[in-house]
Amino acid sequence: MNGINLELFQFEFDLTWMSFFMDAENRIYTRYGGRDDSSPESHLNRNSLLATMRSALALHKVQDVLKSRLEPTGRTVRTPEQIPTMRAMLAKRKNKCIHCHDVKVASLRHLRNQDKLQRHMVFTYPTAANLGITVSPDRQSVIRTVKPGTPAARAGVRRGDTILRAEDHRVLTLGDLSHVLEKTADPGRLSLELKRNGRVIPVRLDLPTGWRKSTDPSWRESLHVVGPGCGLWGRRLNANERRRLKLAPGKLALKVTFIWGPHTRKAGIRVGDIIVRLDGQARDMTIKQLNAHPMLNKAWGDTIPVVLRRKGRELTVRMTFPRRPAD
């Protein structure tokens, strides 16, 4: 990302991959990439990439670039190195390579230093799932499922519909749709143009407050900027380990394998402990989901209870987060 113009190359910097198909004048035909909560590769495959490349070549042949008001012009140049907090991040590294997620982290840290950071700002570039739909991994403008009770369902979107345009912006891929959703307000409205049985159908989605939030944002590298973490790493117990320790399936059972947080050690948590409840949460979680819970729900300086299993005994400790971020 070193020297990249952030005003032109706009995408989800949190651990995602994105490609841009454009002409020699930096005008974009389409985007390919992005992810959802399930996997960074959920919509990356050979078939969809080849289809996007063919579409981009056909558009290039007739110079049909994206012309919507949502498209960046690239006339203004802003690079990652110009983010005020980036210099301090790079100073700690021998390798001065700027990764995609560094851009998001540095941007949020800058807002935090100005007392302008709000937790919802971490939810950038929503995906189709935020509307209540999934799209085909191979044909990413084709709707595969519509979840009942969601904005898409209430607007009359159906399985098998093809998204032609969103807010007058051509949609060929999940990357195209995500770009439009990033520009959509919370709460807000979204106009879609669908193709159904050979007919073009316009629909409008009413998006409620909080629609940009995803169900499992634990994959986002930038979460640690918005709130405190548990300061530990671990793994979920397997079925045999759960049976031996008489821990119910579907409940939290994470074995601590590494501790880096001084506040974690101060709480008395040790490597080998099994976390069975954190801040009242006992549902089964991955270690990333465990760390994400306080990042999204607790403030610096807060104290939470942590219930552990240690050598067959259950005990409760209290973890107090640092009063301020270390970075």
CA dist 208 and 188 (Å) reads 7
One CATH from 2.30.42.10, 3.40.50.300, 3.20.20.370, 3.40.50.11260 for 227-320: 2.30.42.10
pLDDT of 15 > 80? The answer is no
CA dist 145 and 148 (Å) reads 10
Give the residue among 194, 205, 203, 202 at the shortest CA–CA distance from 159. 194
Q: What is the pLDDT averaged over residues 121-142? A: 94
Q: What percent of the chain is modeled with pLDDT above 90?
A: 89
CA dist 124 and 217 (Å) reads 11
> 75 falls in which pLDDT band (50, 70, 90)?
confident
Q: What is the pLDDT averaged over residues 29-34? A: 95
Identify the pLDDT of residue 94: 82
Q: What is the pLDDT averaged over residues 171-191? A: 96
pTM: 0.90
In this structure, whether the domain defined by 128-207 belongs to CATH 1.10.150.120 is answered with: no
Domains 128-207 and 227-320 share a fold: yes
Give the residue among 97, 143, 159, 16 at the shortest CA–CA distance from 31. 16
pLDDT of 302 > 80? The answer is yes
User: So where are the chain's domains?
Assistant: 18-119, 128-207, 227-320
Give the residue among 283, 262, 266 at the shortest CA–CA distance from 317. 266
232-290 pLDDT, tens digit each? 999 999 999 999 999 999 999 999 999 999 999 999 999 999 999 999 999 999 999 99
> 42 falls in which pLDDT band (50, 70, 90)?
confident
Q: What is the pLDDT averaged over residues 214-240? A: 94
Q: What percent of the chain is modeled with pLDDT above 70?
A: 100
DSSP-derived letter for residue 33 is E
Identify the pLDDT of residue 279: 97
Give the residue among 126, 115, 141 at the shortest CA–CA distance from 48. 141
> 37 falls in which pLDDT band (50, 70, 90)?
confident
**Cβ atoms of 137 and 46 closer than 8 Å:** no
